[in-house]
Amino acid sequence: MSDRVTISISDGIADVRFNRADKRNALDGEQFQAIVDAGESLKTNKKIRAVVVSGEGASFCAGLDLASMGAMAGGGNNSGGERQPSASDMSGDRITHLGQQSAWVWQEVPVPVIAAVHGHALGGGCQIALGADIRIAHPDTKFSVRETYWGLVPDMAGTVLMQGLVRPDIMKDIVLSARIFDGREAAEIGIVTRLSETPREDAFAYAEEICKRSPDAVRGAKELLNRLTMDFAHYRQPRWWP
């Protein structure tokens, strides 16, 4: 596994850390792939009871690495001539592409996933945080569904999940304006579960509480709640929705 994302497991908790602090954990093709690989590696691990996802350094994830946007869009090469993963690469026989799966994979991990968010969660970083089950964020965290600012459609899976968290008009405001808002507003509108001055520490405290519950019941409850959420989201679509 790439060292772009590290995983350590202790007492039933998987500590997943984005490990590109010098770039504020920005997303290039390799980073997308490393995040997906990390999530996939945990899906069949029967020893874990909870997952904490966080970012090394000053930010959770500052979004797309703009220096590599062109290469990602076209599946460009690195300095050694090797093709780098593109965010639009399809993941085997999946219906998600690589960028979408970097957010959606956390819904597929069968145990609760808690995102500890600080610094920046912009664009793809915000989408990945939305892929978690619980978000604990510092009040000063800068959030944005930033894609339209760069002329992109925010089609990572976090946008789908956000519709179950906020009112439709608020969702449109956030997506269409691409504005930056802080953790306080994020908590007020429902994107953040709770605020904390020490989000990573509190995320682990929350995970430790989860570990005290029946692991089978927790896994079953997550599966049930995910089905209810997606059924509700489908029900809310107008009749003409394709």
* CATH code, 169: 3.90.226.10
For the chain, what is the mean pLDDT?
89
The yes-or-no verdict on residue 174 having pLDDT over 50 is: yes
Q: What is the pLDDT of residue 88?
A: 56
Closest to 130 measured CA to CA, from 143, 142, 140 = 143
**Residue 115 within any structural domain of the chain:** yes
Q: What is the pLDDT of residue 73?
A: 52
Average pLDDT, integer, range 77-105:
68
**Residue 225 within any structural domain of the chain:** yes
Confidence band, pLDDT 50/70/90 cuts, at residue 37: very high
Residue the block writes with tokens 């945990």: 42
Beta strands in 63-184, from DSSP E residues, in sequence order: 113-117, 120-122, 134-137, 142-144, 181-182
- Reduced to 3 states (helix: H, G, I; strand: E, B; else coil), residue 183 is helix
**Residue 197 within any structural domain of the chain:** yes
The yes-or-no verdict on residue 86 having pLDDT over 90 is: no
Average pLDDT, integer, range 100-113:
96
Q: What is the pLDDT of residue 118?
A: 98
Which residues does residue 64 pair with via DSSP β-bridges, in sequence order? 27
Average pLDDT, integer, range 55-81:
74
Closest to 26 measured CA to CA, from 131, 136, 116, 120 = 120
Q: What percent of the chain has pLDDT over 70?
A: 83
Q: How far apart are CA 56 and CA 132, in angstroms?
A: 17
Reported as a single tens digit per residue, the pLDDT across 122-146 is 999 999 999 999 999 999 999 999 9
**Residue 228 within any structural domain of the chain:** yes
Confidence band, pLDDT 50/70/90 cuts, at residue 87: low
User: Number of folded domains in the chain?
Assistant: 1
**Residue 164 within any structural domain of the chain:** yes
Domain coverage including residue 218:
5-236
**Residue 32 within any structural domain of the chain:** yes
Q: What is the pLDDT of residue 231?
A: 59
Confidence band, pLDDT 50/70/90 cuts, at residue 238: very low
pTM summary value: 0.87
**Residue 241 within any structural domain of the chain:** no
Average pLDDT, integer, range 35-54:
97
Q: What is the pLDDT of residue 185?
A: 98
Q: What is the pLDDT of residue 211?
A: 98
Reported as a single tens digit per residue, the pLDDT across 181-225 is 999 999 999 999 999 999 999 999 999 999 999 999 999 999 999
**Residue 242 within any structural domain of the chain:** no
Q: How many helices (H) and strands (E) does the chain have?
A: 9, 9
